[in-house]
């Protein structure tokens, strides 16, 4: 499963990239607003930190506007992936940009049928939002497994990019049901390494090692 970082925090992305845990990056208008940075500038800088796709989202709501913005964003760097909302206009823009070989990420997906439409329109990625479904007491993970089944039934190549991931359990479940990619905030990715028995075991090993008086 590919790991994308859902952030515009350059230091945090770089830290994870140095460890080898960054296959790409996703952003959205809220993340960009939180960064307080110029949109195109920050996307250009993120694109230098990874060879993988960096999702940059359009803000127009009509297809023509989205296509125009998508072409502008795509000029920032070769690894920019144009993120489009799952509306009829977004799907139309996805179809046009995909035919121009522009990588596309169709976002704000909350149903299997929406994912089916994105695949039919040639999306490179579909972004189903797990956490936001869980927030309203629906089953976000069921959406991921439904889309997996549907895409496999018909051999769609659109990659399932599990988004709105809030905790380690979401990551594990995504891997179990076969999401192609998961995108999570840096803190969630860093937390995956934590286990109380790892800490306890390491402390005991180091204590015993000290009694040997040796060095490596």
> What is the β-pairing status of strands 104-109 and 125-128?
parallel
How far, in Å, are 16, 29, 173, 175 from residue 123 at the CA level?
Answer: 27, 20, 23, 21
Torsion angle (degrees, nearest 10) of CA 145, 29, 1, 200: -100
The secondary structure element, H or E, covering residue 80 is: strand 80-85
Q: Does 158 bind ligand E4P (CB under 6 A)?
A: no
Tokens at residue 70, please? 């998508």
Q: Kindly identify the residues of this chain, within the stretch 79-108, that bind ligand E4P according to CB under 6 A.
A: 107
Q: How far is the CB of 19 from ligand E4P (least distance, A)?
A: 21
Q: Kindly identify the residues of this chain, within the stretch 12-41, that bind ligand E4P according to CB under 6 A.
A: 26, 28
Q: Does 6 bind ligand E4P (CB under 6 A)?
A: yes
Q: Does 114 bind ligand E4P (CB under 6 A)?
A: no
Taking the least distance from each CB to ligand E4P, the nearer of 96 and 183 is 183
Helix ranges (H only) for 62-185 are 63-74, 88-99, 112-120, 130-135, 140-154, 168-177
Please tell me which residue in 48, 83, 92, 120 is annotated as part of the active site. Answer: 83
User: Phi and psi (nearest 5°) for 214?
Assistant: -90, 165
Q: Does 129 bind ligand E4P (CB under 6 A)?
A: yes
Please tell me the count of residues contacting ligand E4P according to CB under 6 A.
11
Taking the least distance from each CB to ligand E4P, the nearer of 98 and 127 is 127
In angstroms, the CA 2 to CA 179 distance is 9
Q: Is 34 a catalytic residue?
A: no
Q: Which of 86, 181, 183, 189 binds ligand E4P (CB under 6 A)?
A: 183
Q: How far is the CB of 72 from ligand E4P (least distance, A)?
A: 20
Give residues in contact with ligand E4P (CB under 6 A).
6, 26, 28, 107, 127, 129, 131-132, 163-164, 183
Catalytic residue annotation: 83
């Amino acid at each position: 499963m590919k790991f994308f970082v859902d952030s515009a925090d350059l230091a945090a992305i770089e830290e994870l990239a140095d460890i080898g845990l960054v296959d790409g990056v996703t952003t959205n208008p809220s993340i960009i607003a939180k960064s307080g940075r110029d949109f195109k500038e920050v996307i250009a800088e993120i694109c230098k930190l990874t060879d993988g796709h960096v999702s940059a989202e359009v803000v127009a709501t009509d297809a023509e506007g989205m296509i125009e913005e998508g072409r502008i964003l795509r000029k920032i760097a070769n690894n920019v992936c144009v993120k489009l909302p799952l509306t009829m206009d977004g799907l139309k823009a996805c179809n046009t940009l995909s035919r121009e070989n522009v990588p596309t990420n169709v976002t704000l997906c909350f149903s299997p049928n929406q994912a089916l439409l994105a695949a039919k329109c040639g999306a490179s990625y579909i972004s189903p939002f797990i956490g936001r479904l869980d927030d309203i007491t629906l089953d976000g993970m069921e959406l991921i497994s439904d889309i997996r089944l549907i895409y496999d039934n018909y051999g769609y190549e659109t990659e399932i990019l599990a988004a709105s991931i809030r905790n380690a359990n979401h990551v594990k479940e995504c891997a179990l049901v076969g999401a192609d990619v998961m995108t999570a905030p840096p803190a969630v990715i860093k937390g995956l390494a934590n286990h109380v028995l790892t800490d306890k075991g390491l402390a005991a090993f180091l204590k015993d090692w000290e009694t040997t008086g040796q060095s490596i």
